[in-house]
Amino acid sequence: MSLIDRLRRPEYTGENRCWPCTAVNLVVVVLLAGVVGLLFAPLAALVLLGGGGLIYLRGYVVPGTPRFAPRIVDLLPVEFGPQKHVESDSIAGSVDPEELLGTLIDADVVVDDGDELRLTEDFRVTFEDRMADLRTLSEQALAERAAAVAAGDPDAEVHANRILLAGGRDIWLSRAVAIAETAAAETLADFDVPTDLRAPAAEPLRTLVGTCPVCAGPVVETTLRNCCGGPGTSHRKPHRPVLACADCSTVVYEFDV
């Protein structure tokens, strides 16, 4: 592995890049280069090139940037870069919720202890292994797997950073939702859950994931504003509660308010 490959942080670059973090770090690098230039002018160019290169490869150079940069940018009257958060539909269809819950309990998929629902250990392990496998697929291959488990036999398409399952009802999926719900539906087949209940169960099971479908980081309850780098903009539904990855900020589930 080359030095550049070791420096890369894909969870903070490319489609995952946090533009407020990038903006704040560019300002810091420029200011630092200016100070260094006053002391020894030739070093200013090296600081700019080195700092700019690290921001390009890693997303930021100042430690802890994803925690504070979006809050700084929130105070400004402008927004930086494209929205990071992509809204998503679900492959789930309508079904009687009591029938669905009873089936999942009987199939040893979930446990209801009276206070909360949680995945059984056997299902959780298989579910996470399936997400890991899907994580390695291309967008088109993932779209085809999602179409295979969705109701209505839709066509699989990829448009920019979203997956479209085109059919009687067009379903737009983010990569995270496509991975989580496809993995859920495929795993339900291993637990002998009836075919017509697998897609409807995919969305509620997505609310119980403990690891991020995209990077395997921990999933936590937060809000769009406070989710490590602020997926989306700070001015768009900022207080909506979500389940999101603490490492890469990917939104796994948005709760209705």
Asked if residue 202 has pLDDT above 80, the reply is yes
The alpha carbon torsion through 220, 224, 227, 231 (nearest 10 deg) reads 120
pLDDT band at 252 (very low <50, low <70, confident <90, very high): very high
For position 139, what pLDDT does the model report?
Answer: 92
* CA-closest candidate to residue 162, choices 180, 145, 177: 177
pLDDT band at 109; cut points 50, 70, 90: very high
Q: Could you read off the pLDDT of 115-143 as tens digits, one per residue?
A: 889 999 999 999 999 999 999 999 999 99
Buried b (16+ CB within 10 A) or exposed e, 142-173: bbbbbbebbbeebebbbeeebbbbeeeeebbb
215 neighbors 175 (Cβ within 8 angstroms): no
- Where is pLDDT greater, at 22 or 131? 131
Residue 177: per-residue pLDDT: 94
Question: pLDDT confidence of 82, banded at 50, 70, 90?
Answer: very low
Q: Is residue 71 predicted with pLDDT exceeding 90?
A: no
Is the predicted pLDDT of residue 231 greater than 50, yes or no?
A: no
pLDDT at 84 over 60: no
Per-residue pLDDT at 16: 60
**Mean pLDDT along residues 190-202:** 94
This prediction has a pTM of 0.65
